[in-house]
């Protein structure tokens, strides 16, 4: 496959509004999480603290921690803009599946009342569902991808 056809398949998208809502929901939901990890915004620990957690507490290889931090932050921005939507959504799907795997022993429900060991899987399953839908549909209307296709 030629590079140009690969790039075309990554930005290919229809003219529907449905993916707009999907990518805005996923992008706006993931942005604060990425900003916590990269910049320390929204009560986060920033890059150094997040890398320390990933490599020290969780035992994640540093390159995986780096990809998670960059993927959550920049992937969410790419989704909001609708640029490289299939790649950004696919990256977030992988990140969310990894997070779900790490937290699989915590049950299904989020820890609303602080009476569980940690967060459950429901958030991650929603994020995976949104991301997979975007991998299939592309960015839709009002996206950089739709401009590139023209």
Average pLDDT for consecutive 10-residue bins of the chain (150 residues)?
A: 70 87 98 98 98 95 97 98 96 97 88 84 96 95 86
- The two tokens of residue 84 are 């490289």
Instruction: Tell me the C-alpha to C-alpha distance, in Å, between residue 137 and each of 12, 17, 18, 93.
Output: 9, 11, 9, 14
Within 8 A by CB and 6+ apart from 125, the residues are: 100
22 class by beta-carbon count within 10 Å (0-12 exposed, 13-18 middle, 19+ buried): buried
**pLDDT value for 76:** 98
Query: pTM of the full predicted structure?
Result: 0.90
The number of CA neighbours under 13 Å toward the Cβ of 72 is 25
Whose tokens are 């915004």? That residue is: 41
């Amino acid at each position: 496959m030629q590079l140009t056809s690969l790039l075309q398949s990554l930005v290919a998208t229809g003219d529907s509004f449905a993916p707009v809502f999907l990518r805005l929901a996923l992008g706006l939901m993931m942005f604060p999480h990425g900003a916590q990890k990269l910049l320390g915004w929204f009560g986060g620990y920033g890059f150094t603290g997040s890398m320390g957690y990933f490599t020290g507490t969780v035992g994640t290889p540093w390159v995986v921690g780096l990809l998670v931090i960059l993927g959550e932050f920049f992937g969410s921005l790419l989704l909001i803009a609708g640029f490289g939507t299939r790649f950004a959504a696919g990256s977030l799907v992988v990140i969310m599946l990894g997070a779900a795997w790490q937290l699989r022993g915590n049950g299904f429900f989020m820890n609303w009342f602080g009476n569980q060991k940690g967060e459950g899987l429901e958030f991650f399953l929603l994020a995976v569902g949104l991301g997979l839908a975007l991998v299939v549909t592309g960015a839709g209307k009002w996206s950089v991808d739709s401009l590139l296709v023209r």
